[in-house]
Structure 1
Amino acid sequence: MGLLDNLKAKLAPAKDKASHLAQQHEDKVDKLQHGIDKAARVVDEKTKGKYSDKIQTGTGRAKGAVDRFVHPDAMGGTGGPVPDPTTPNRPEGPPSAS
């Protein structure tokens, strides 16, 4: 088991507890999401719309992260480990003799 796997395993209980607390205070999480929208509007106004697409992308990702934190099972997650996107997909079993 690698260092990152050990770190994830040790942080999992804290993440679960924080997620549980976020679920208990979902009204405050909603206020956080409104704050994200408000901050995005202010930044978009200050930059005169020059970075609107990047601001929208960042806002969507931030709100998505909050949603996944509060509702980890709603996205089809099992609470288990997330696959590493840098690991290539390899077929199972022995290599073919071709």
Structure 2
Amino acid sequence: MAGFDDITKKAQAFLNDDKVKDALKSEKAEDISDKVLDGVADAVNKVTGKKFESQVDGARDTADKAVGNE
């Protein structure tokens, strides 16, 4: 578990860097994240027969708010 803790600390430090924060809030990050999140949501909806479509869409929207500038 010590290795996992070290990786977690490094990831937290990386995500707290101002340059990384700026990159995650850029227009390019928004475009890329939208494509990735839409693709994942579509795949999950296809596999589940849209049984959980509202939950998938809600999770997609929540994740979208965390990345990009919109």
Q: Normalization by structure 1: what TM-score?
A: 0.47
Q: Normalization by structure 2: what TM-score?
A: 0.62
Tell me which residue corresponds to 1:87.
none
Highest CA radius of gyration, 1 or 2?
A: 1
Tell me which residue corresponds to 1:62.
63
Tell me which residue corresponds to 1:37.
38
Tell me which residue corresponds to 2:19.
17
Where does structure 2 lack aligned partners over 5 or more consecutive residues? 1-12
CA RMSD, 1 decimal = 2.5
Q: Percent identity?
A: 21
Report the residue type matching 2:45 in the other structure. Answer: D
Aligned residues: 57
With a CA cutoff of 8 Å and minimum separation of 6, indicate the structure with the bigger relative contact order.
2
